[in-house]
Structure 1
Amino acid sequence: MNLQIEQAIQHWPFVAPLLRKPKTEADYDALVVVLDELTDLIGDDEIHPLMGLVDIIGDWVEAYDLAHHPMPKASGVDVLRSVMQEHGLTQSDLPGVGTQSVVSEILSGKRQLNVRQIRWLADYFNVPVDMFI
């Protein structure tokens, strides 16, 4: 038998709990705790011996997240509100969208963003156009 397999058999009872894909919320929560502890331990050391384990657990946590905790789809107006708040902007700080009253109507849902406004916002915030669609 291969030496690596023999060592794996010997150490498997200690490692096995870390190497199981999450099937339940409890499994997921346990792996998130392990991942947090590992990243605290490793820090920014990309060549740390446990980095492969971090990659594996991180992939499993991400896959479980995507399958069980999907991100809600935000509307273009929701994104606009968010970036305005993040950058501390007022309605009059967005002249490429229109006057303050136009921006107000967009934010209140009385008016929709048009293509020209979406392009201007994407350029202004340096983000993809589809963020506001």
Structure 2
Amino acid sequence: MNAILDQAAAHWAHIAPLLAEPHDEEDYDAKVAALDELLEVVGDDEDHPLASLALRLGDVIEAYDEANRPIPQASGVEVLRYLMAEHDITQSDLPEVGAQSVVSAILSGKRQLNWRQICELSERFGVSADAFRSISESR
């Protein structure tokens, strides 16, 4: 066996559990904790020897999330309402959109957000602009 495979075989019993799909929430939580620790070690160094392990472990966690915790589909209006409630703001507190009457018209489906409004809301709330793009589909 070549030297790399010999090293992999010698350490595989310790690494394999990290790369296996989580079988329950406890295992999932352990993998998330391991990834957090890995990311503290690796930081932003893409050339770090453990960077590829962190990426692979992230893929394992993401696959579990997609299979077991699907993100519900939401319209842009629902997203905007959720963010307003989460940040405890009213229609008048959204100067990015315009006057309260404009926000009301958008929330009721009578108007659509324009690209400028979408970009500003995205920046304000720290979410992808795509979250608001479906706002016209909610009518």
* 2:59 is aligned with 1:59: yes
* 2:133 is aligned with 1:130: yes
Q: Pick from 95, 109, 114: which aligns with 1:113?
A: 109
> Post-superposition shift, 1:59?
0.5
Instruction: Give the match for residue 123 of structure 2.
Output: none
- RMSD, matched Cα: 2.9
> Post-superposition shift, 1:42?
1.4
Q: Deviations over 1:47-102 (max 9, x none)?
A: 11100100100001011101101112223322222455688864244447x726x7
Equivalent pair of 2:21/2:60 in contact (CA under 8 Å) = yes
Higher relative contact order (CA 8 A, sep 6+): 2
Percent of aligned positions that are identical: 44
Q: 1:25 to 1:36 in 2, by over 3 A?
A: same
Instruction: State TM-score, norm by structure 1.
Output: 0.72
Instruction: State TM-score, norm by structure 2.
Output: 0.70
Q: Larger C-alpha radius of gyration, 1 or 2?
A: 1
Give the gaps of 5 or more residues in structure 1. Answer: none
Q: Tell me the matched-pair count.
A: 123
